[in-house]
């Protein structure tokens, strides 16, 4: 999973304007983020039509706020620069919940 460098919303929009992306918002200190991280490589493999980007909430606090991510771990999906779905809250997420969320998206 590519780690997103610190960037503005405009820079992010330029980066994700073509293709399908899953942004994973987390922080090192977040226990619920650490809970889902071991499942992410398998999720990435199973959903290889998406490019996964890891967003450190603390490094990208302005971007996180602009995207209205008020809880972590969270996932936002984009297709050709347009948001197509979000699983954004402060609850712990299981592999099954993330897969169910991704399966429910229009591709």
Residues in the chain: 107
Cα separation, 16 vs 6, whole angstroms = 15
Q: Known catalytic residue: 17?
A: no
34 an active-site residue?
Answer: no
List all residues 6 or more positions away from 52 whose beta carbon is below 8 Å from its beta carbon: 1, 2, 21, 22, 24, 40, 43, 44
| Distance separating alpha carbons of residues 45 and 25, to the nearest angstrom | 19
From the list 12, 16, 33, 87, the catalytic residue is: 33
Q: Catalytic: which of 16, 23, 30, 102?
A: 30
Q: Which residues are catalytic?
A: 30, 33
């Amino acid at each position: 999973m590519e780690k997103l460098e610190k960037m503005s919303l405009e820079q992010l929009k330029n980066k994700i304007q073509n293709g399908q992306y899953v942004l994973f918002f987390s922080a090192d200190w977040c226990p619920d983020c650490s809970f889902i991280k071991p499942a992410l490589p398998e999720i990435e493999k199973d959903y290889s039509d998406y490019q996964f980007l890891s967003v450190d909430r603390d490094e990208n606090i302005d971007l996180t706020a602009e995207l209205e991510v008020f809880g972590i771990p969270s996932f936002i999906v984009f297709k050709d620069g347009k948001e197509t779905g979000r699983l954004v809250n402060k609850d712990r997420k299981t592999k099954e919940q993330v897969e169910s969320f991704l399966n429910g998206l229009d591709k």
